[in-house]
Amino acid sequence: MGKLTPELERERVRILKASEDYGLDCFDTIFELINYDQINQIAAYGGFPVRYPHWKFGMEYDHLSKSYEYGLSKIYEMVINNDPCYAYLMEGNMMMDQKLVMAHVYGHCDFFKNNIWFSKTNRKMMDQMANHAVRIRRYIDRYGYDPVENFIDVCMSLENLIDRYSPYVETSIVEKKEDKSPGNPLGLLKVDKGYMREYINPPDFVKAQKDKMMEKLSQKQRFPSSPERDIMKFLIQHAPLEDWQQDVMSIIRDEAYYYAPQGMTKTMNEGWASYWHSTIMTQKILNDSEIIDFADHHAGVMAMAPGGYNPYKVGIELMRDIEDRWNRGRFGREWEQCDDVRERKNWDQKLNRGREKIFEVRRVHNDVTFLDEFLNEDFCVRNKMFVYKFDKKQNRFVIDTRDFKAIKAKLLFMMTNFGQPIIRIEDANFENRGELLLSHMHEGIDMQPDFMTETMKNIFKVWQRPVNLVTAMEGEGHFYRFDGNEFIQKKLEAAPKAESSDGSRK
Amino acid sequence: MSIREDQSRFKDIVKGKVKENFRRFVSHGEMIGKRENEFVKIPLPQIDIPNFRYGPKQQGGVGQGQGEAGQEAGEPGDGKGKAGESPGEHILEVELSLEELADLLGEQLELPKILPKGAKNINSEKTKFNGLAPVGPEGLRNFKQSYKKALKRYITTGTYDPAEPVIIPIRPDFRYKSFKKVVQPQTRAVVIYMMDVSGSMGDEQKEIVRLESFWINTWLKRHYKGLETRFIIHDAAAKEVDEDTFFRTSESGGTLISSAYKLAQQMIEADYPPNDWNIYPFHFSDGDNWSGEDTRLCVKLLKEFFLPQVNVFSYGQVESKYGSGQFLKDLQKEFPGDDRLTLSQVESKDKILDSIKDFLGKGK
């Protein structure tokens, strides 16, 4: 790894200065100049120079280096959310590309530092990842390569079973205080004079309190007390694991949480960085001879394939749209209610609040809220967006509709939970036999059956008791059970809901 | 670098060397090769760790572009960032060099490296500068090493002064490049392809021979520099042809296999002394010989001439509607378990790879 060349360093200082002038606020950013093989290696390691040994990184590396060597793809830019930020430039790229990448990187850095969804991430992840690697290597030395690798495989199979929003929720440990003296389990009001009893605590109230208590008691028997989405955490805490297994699993979970915000803000983050590289480059940095190459490469990044969703493109267009709307005052009630086409077309209140607005947007939104709030019909039409689906008859993907509502619904669905099914633990003592009951919050799309069964087997390996799952397949509720030897599949009468499990709990 | 370890671990899993139970998660591309300078698909195997995920087809998505409802949307996949989700999307069309193709073939079929015979006989000498000596001609003085020696001497004797870093080398500091004579074994090989072009060999049969001989050539070229190939076609009589004709000719008439063997024998005797050459005769036919007598003659030629002289004699029998397939059976009967002769039956195009493995799997 090398320091920047004096020429690059000069440009870096210029670009940093320009980005600061625009109001970007970054962590210190350290650029390293590395060759293609090193960049492939680091990219395979998810952006870090050191990770624990696992074949999955080898696979990534194999794919990246093959596709680089055959000229199919090339990594231009990589940046790590860390304080200081680390970013990598590839040796031998043309000067214009290096400048573009640096400008893009400063966009990301600003986003990492200021977006609320990144606020809970570990800013010393560089060190943390290295520590993880050391810990896992130590377990390998002690317990052998195969057992540790096999267990990592199991953990990776479960790594999407986390609750991406949990870091932002304050969990209140303090319960509401009630009068719970031993002689008064029902929490009745205090009665000084016997004849007043029926008035102060009327029978209806006593009965209601009794019911409440019974319900609470039954709730307490439930374990977990409310459905748990952070399945990894639950297993770490409650599954019969060895110490080292617990540690390995918490390492994988840690890393999954570290990467989660990047998944939650992909569109915004790339849109923001692209907005800034294009702004900084075209307004401050490019010289005349570079403009054509810049346009070419910028267009390459923004290109959209018909069947593909390009977060760079959608992100930058939305950012520009927001800036434009707030510059011209195209928001708020008056704008929404205006039906006059001509008036709408010429609407300009000269507010010039666009910049300010996008800085605010980059601070508080994630992809779901971003698209929900700012994706509008004009935008979809202008950008020729559509929903596609798989047509069984033609055996190919076809355009389904260009209806705005459908597009928005589909996009939001794709973004929610990172486009993955939501699975919860309903009961860890199912049928009072210590079995695990999972439920899939079915939202119209079935899970892939073979992967589902394999994942259940992996959960069994951790929980070491039978694993049950309620989901839907082809419109019908299904109940699956894996007891360590065989799979049982049953059709359910009613469509699966979270409550359906209560029927079997008595 | 530890990523290399991860990579070789991954490759081992893909090959099924370790973690047998993981094979079901491995998705393979196919291996279809064409001729030089054309595109081939190279496999990018992928292992999917199972997790709870949506089925791929139901999902659909959002795209951008022209088109009416109902029109094709193109394959999904995001242009940037992470690799796609579903297995099988990773097959890329790339151009490969023949050497890489050969390696892929070898890897896929687990072919052993060929041990050339006659390697001892033909050697060539080369000089290689690969060492340092304290004496030598001034023209070969290695400045860098000499300077290092001198610097070392200064430092160890304590006379080095960083403020005035003047280094004056003296005689014992000098180092000279030295060379060695490296003996490189030279290996030469010739492949003699013989093909039955009698009426019973149809186009499909010839296509099989063409494909198979391409792969065999590719593999042998990987092991021998300057591989020579000769082509013989035969029906009732044999003649030598060029490569192009070899694959195009369609004759009719009877079949005398011995005619081809005799011609090959003459070729070897004239041009390829077996002590200096690795010789690989390949014969393809539908197994229909004219007479039992001719078959006996062939067997005699094999026994007395070919098998003692060549690396391995290969006979591939291509299944055809008209052929009786008798020749293969005769050979099997005559040479049970003789590893100088490999026999392979190619029923269809799909079996070409198996057949190549039959031929080259012995590492001879």
Give me the pLDDT at residue B78, please.
Answer: 35
DSSP string, B1-51: -HHHHHHHHHHHHHHTSS-GGGGGGEE-------STTS-EEE---EEPPP-
Cβ atoms of A43 and A67 closer than 8 Å:
no
Cβ atoms of A126 and A255 closer than 8 Å:
no
Joined tokens for residue A490: 């049953």
For residue B87, the chain A residues in CB contact (below 8 A) are: none
Q: Is A29 helix (H, G, I), strand (E, B) or coil?
A: strand
Residue in A59, A308, A407 nearest the CB of B77: A308
Dist CA B65 CA B63 (whole Å)? 7
Identify residue B205 by its one-letter amino acid code. Answer: Q
Give me the pLDDT at residue B319, please.
Answer: 79
Give me the pLDDT at residue A462, please.
Answer: 93
For residue B75, the chain A residues in CB contact (below 8 A) are: 307, 397
Alpha-carbon separation of residue A166 from A123, A171, A201, A228, A231 (angstroms): 18, 9, 41, 11, 12
CATH of A6-115+265-296, one of 2.60.40, 3.30.870, 1.10.10, 1.10.3470: 1.10.10
Cβ atoms of A206 and A186 closer than 8 Å:
yes
DSSP string, A158-199: TTT-S-TTGGGSPPP-SPPP----TT-TT-PPP-SSGGGHHH
Give me the pLDDT at residue B278, please.
Answer: 81
Give me the pLDDT at residue A494, please.
Answer: 59
Cβ atoms of B311 and B278 closer than 8 Å:
yes
Joined tokens for residue B26: 């491995």
CA B155 to chain centre: 54
Q: What length does chain A have?
A: 506
Domain spans of chain B?
1-52+86-96, 128-183, 188-360
Q: Contact B64/A385, CB-based, under 8 Å? A: yes
DSSP string, A95-109: HHHHHHHHHHHHHHH
Chain B interface includes A447 (CB < 8 A):
yes
Least Cα separation, residue A28 to chain B (angstroms): 24
Residue in B11, B54, B69 nearest the CB of A401: B69
A residues 356-415 closer than 8 Å to B (CB):
383-390, 392, 394, 396-402, 407, 410-411, 414
Q: What angle in degrees, to the nearest 10, is found between the helix axes of A36-44 and A55-69?
A: 140
Measure the CA angle with vertex A427, ends A426 and A428; round to 5°: 135
Closest CA to A212 of A243, A176, A158, A242: A176
Look up residue A2 and give its DSSP letter. B
Q: Contact A398/B72, CB-based, under 8 Å? A: yes
For residue B90, the chain A residues in CB contact (below 8 A) are: 63
Q: Compare all CA atoms of chain A with the CA of B80 and give the residue at the minimum distance.
A: A310
Q: Contact A420/B68, CB-based, under 8 Å? A: no
Q: Contact A388/B51, CB-based, under 8 Å? A: no
Dist CA A379 CA A325 (whole Å)? 11
A residues 423-442 closer than 8 Å to B (CB):
423, 440
The pairing of beta strand B40-42 with beta strand A85-90: unpaired
Joined tokens for residue A229: 């989405």
Q: The domain B188-360: what is its CATH number?
A: 3.40.50.410
Instruction: Identify the residue whose tokens are 């063997």.
Output: B261
Which backbone phi and psi does A402 adopt, to 5 degrees? -115, 15
Q: Contact B80/A301, CB-based, under 8 Å? A: yes
Cβ atoms of B91 and A420 closer than 8 Å:
no
Dist CA B352 CA B354 (whole Å)? 5
Max distance between CA atoms of chain B, in angstroms, equals 96
Give me the pLDDT at residue A423, please.
Answer: 93
Core vs surface per residue A196-205: b (16+ CB within 10 A) or e:
eeeeebeeee
User: By 3-state DSSP, what share of chain A in percent is helix, strand and coil, each rounded to 5?
Assistant: 55, 15, 30
Look up residue A293 and give its DSSP letter. H
* Omega within 30 of 0 (cis) for the link into A224: yes
Dist CA B284 CA B205 (whole Å)? 9
Dist CA A389 CA A421 (whole Å)? 18
Dist CA A97 CA A76 (whole Å)? 8
Instruction: Identify the residue whose tokens are 């000084």.
Output: A192
Dist CA B39 CA A274 (whole Å)? 35
Q: Contact B69/A454, CB-based, under 8 Å? A: no
Cβ atoms of B35 and A84 closer than 8 Å:
no
Dist CA B33 CA B101 (whole Å)? 8
Give me the pLDDT at residue A364, please.
Answer: 94
Give me the pLDDT at residue A183, please.
Answer: 59
The residues of chain A scoring below 70 in pLDDT are: 1, 70-73, 170-187, 217-221, 306-307, 418, 494-506
Least Cα separation, residue B15 to chain A (angstroms): 13
* Interface with chain A: mutation pick from B52, B90, B107, highest number of A CBs within 10 Å: B52
Which backbone phi and psi does A400 adopt, to 5 degrees? -90, -55
Cβ atoms of A396 and B72 closer than 8 Å:
yes
Give me the pLDDT at residue B74, please.
Answer: 58
Residue by residue, pLDDT tens for chain B (364 residues) are 578 889 888 888 877 767 777 766 776 544 333 334 445 555 677 888 888 888 765 667 777 777 766 666 655 543 333 322 222 223 334 445 566 667 777 776 666 666 666 544 556 677 788 888 888 888 889 999 999 999 989 988 888 888 888 888 888 889 998 888 776 666 678 889 998 887 777 777 777 888 888 888 877 777 777 778 889 988 888 888 888 788 777 666 777 888 889 899 998 888 888 877 888 898 988 888 878 888 888 888 888 888 888 888 888 888 777 667 788 888 888 888 777 888 888 887 777 778 887 887 776 6
Give me the pLDDT at residue B92, please.
Answer: 36
